[in-house]
Structure 1
Amino acid sequence: MTDTNPDSLCFLPLGGSDEIGMNLNLYGYGPERDRKWIIVDCGVTFGDLSTPGVDLIMPDPRFIEERAGDLIGMVLTHAHEDHMGAVAHLWRRLRCPIWATPFTAWLVRDRLHEYGLEDEVELHEIALDSRFDLGPFDIQLVTLTHSIPEPNGLAIRTPAGLVLHTGDWKIDPDPLIGESTDVSALTAMGEEGVLAMVCDSTNVFSKGESGSEAGVKEELVKVVSENTTGKVAIAAFASNVARLQSAIEAAEANGRRVCLIGRSMHRMTAAAKSVGLLQHVQDFVSEEEAGFFPPEKILYLCTGSQGEPRAALSRIAEGNHRNVNLGPGDTVIFSSRVIPGNDLGIFQLQNRLAERGVEIITEKDRPVHVSGHPCRDELAQMYQWAQPSVAIPVHGERRHLIEHAAFARELQVPHSVTVRNGDMVEIRSDGTASIIDEAPAGRLHVDGNFLTDADANSMRERRKLAYAGEITVAMAVSRKGELLSGPDLRCMGVAEDANLSNEEFMDALADEAERTYDRLSPRNRRDLEYAEEEIRRAVRREANRIWGKKPWIDVMLLEI
Structure 2
Amino acid sequence: MNFDDKLVFLPLGGSGEIGMNLNLYCCNGKWLMIDCGISFADERAPGVDLIVPDAAWIAERSKDLLAIVITHAHEDHVGAVARLWPEFQCPVYTSPFTAEILHNKLTEEGISDLVEVNIVAPGSSLQLGDFHLDFIDLTHSIPEMQALMITTPYGRVMHSGDWKLDPRPVVGPASDMDRLAEVTGGDVLAMICDSTNVFKKGLSGSEGDVQDSLDLLLGRITEGRVAVTTFASNIARVCTIALIAEKHDRHVVLVGRSLHRMTEAAKRAGYLGELPAFINEKDANFLPRDKVLLLCTGSQGEPRGAMARIARGDHQHVNLTKGDTVIFSSKVIPGNEKTLYALHNELTENGMQVITEADEFVHVSGHPARDELAEMYAAVKPRIAVPVHGEARHLAEHCSLAKSLGVETAIEIKNGDVLQLAPGKAEIIGKVHAGRLAVDAGGLTSLEGEFLNARRKMIYNGAASALIIINEKGQITEDPVVRLRGVVEVSNFEDLNGRLVKQIFAGHAELSKSEKLQDEAVEKRAGQAIRRVFRKLAGRRPLTDVYVVRINDEEG
Q: How many angstroms apart in 1 are the aligned matches of 2:75 and 2:486?
A: 34
Name the residue aligned to 1:22: 20
Q: Number of paired residues?
A: 551
Name the residue aligned to 1:434: 427
Which of 445, 459, 468 in structure 2 is aligned with 1:475? Answer: 468
Deviation, 1:210, is: 0.5
> Per-residue CA shift, 1:351-373, capped at 9, x if unaligned?
11111111100001001000000
1:418 paired to 2:412: yes
Which of 122, 126, 131 in structure 2 is aligned with 1:137? Answer: 131
**8 Å contact kept, 1:189–1:386:** no
- Within 5 Å, give how 1:73-152 maps onto structure 2: 73-152=67-146
Q: How much is the aligned-residue C-alpha RMSD, in angstroms?
A: 1.4
Q: How many angstroms apart in 1 are the aligned matches of 2:180 and 2:296?
A: 36
Q: How many angstroms apart in 2 are the aligned matches of 1:341 and 1:484?
A: 52
Deviation, 1:518, is: 3.7
Which of 487, 495, 502 in structure 1 is aligned with 2:488? Answer: 495
Q: How many angstroms apart in 1 are the aligned matches of 2:2 and 2:143?
A: 43
Q: How many angstroms apart in 1 are the aligned matches of 2:198 and 2:58?
A: 30
Deviation, 1:477, is: 1.6
Name the residue aligned to 1:559: 550
Structure 2: gaps of 5 or more residues = 552-556
Task: State the SS of the aligned residue for 2:279.
Answer: coil
Which of 430, 453, 459 in structure 1 is aligned with 2:452? Answer: 459
1:249 paired to 2:247: no
Q: How many angstroms apart in 2 are the aligned matches of 1:131 and 1:498?
A: 71
**8 Å contact kept, 2:45–2:447:** no
**8 Å contact kept, 1:161–1:429:** no
Name the residue aligned to 2:179: 185
**8 Å contact kept, 1:190–1:388:** no
Aligned AA (1:405): C
Name the residue aligned to 1:513: 504
Aligned AA (1:163): V
Deviation, 1:188, is: 2.9
1:522 paired to 2:513: yes
1:306 paired to 2:297: no
**8 Å contact kept, 2:465–2:484:** yes
Which of 534, 549, 555 in structure 1 is aligned with 2:540? Answer: 549
Deviation, 1:429, is: 5.1
Which of 529, 532, 550 in structure 2 is aligned with 1:538? Answer: 529
Deviation, 1:442, is: 1.0
Name the residue aligned to 1:40: 34
Deviation, 1:235, is: 0.4
Which of 379, 391, 394 in structure 1 is aligned with 2:388? Answer: 394
Deviation, 1:3, is: 5.8
Name the residue aligned to 1:323: 317
Aligned AA (1:530): A
Q: How many angstroms apart in 2 are the aligned matches of 1:528 and 1:3?
A: 51
CA gap of 1:294–1:21, structure 2 versus 1, over 3 A, is same
Which of 408, 412, 415 in structure 1 is aligned with 2:402? Answer: 408
Q: How many angstroms apart in 2 are the aligned matches of 1:476 and 1:222?
A: 76
> Per-residue CA shift, 1:244-278, capped at 9, x if unaligned?
01111121111110100001100000011011111
Name the residue aligned to 2:9: 11
**8 Å contact kept, 2:3–2:26:** no
Q: How many angstroms apart in 2 are the aligned matches of 1:472 and 1:439?
A: 40
Q: How many angstroms apart in 1 are the aligned matches of 2:417 and 2:511?
A: 51
Aligned AA (2:340): I
Deviation, 1:392, is: 0.2
CA gap of 1:65–1:489, structure 2 versus 1, over 3 A, is same
Aligned AA (2:532): R
Q: How many angstroms apart in 2 are the aligned matches of 1:526 and 1:465?
A: 30
Q: TM-score, normalised by structure 2?
A: 0.97
User: Identity percentage over the alignment?
Assistant: 46
> Per-residue CA shift, 1:312-354, capped at 9, x if unaligned?
1111111111111112110110000001111111111111111
1:169 paired to 2:160: no
Q: How many angstroms apart in 1 are the aligned matches of 2:403 and 2:93?
A: 34
Task: State the SS of the aligned residue for 2:101.
Answer: helix
Q: How many angstroms apart in 2 are the aligned matches of 1:40 and 1:268?
A: 22
Task: State the SS of the aligned residue for 2:400.
Answer: helix
Name the residue aligned to 2:554: none
Q: TM-score, normalised by structure 1?
A: 0.96
**8 Å contact kept, 1:474–1:486:** no
Aligned AA (1:485): E
- Deviation larger for 181-190 or 39-48: 181-190
Q: How many angstroms apart in 1 are the aligned matches of 2:501 and 2:173?
A: 71
Name the residue aligned to 2:63: 69
**8 Å contact kept, 2:134–2:183:** no
- Deviation larger for 506-515 or 367-376: 506-515
> Per-residue CA shift, 1:494-553, capped at 9, x if unaligned?
23277436xx33432232113322443433211121111111112111110011111111
1:159 paired to 2:153: yes
> Per-residue CA shift, 1:451-485, capped at 9, x if unaligned?
11223211221221122111111111222223233
Task: State the SS of the aligned residue for 2:35.
Answer: strand
Q: How many angstroms apart in 1 are the aligned matches of 2:429 and 2:217?
A: 54
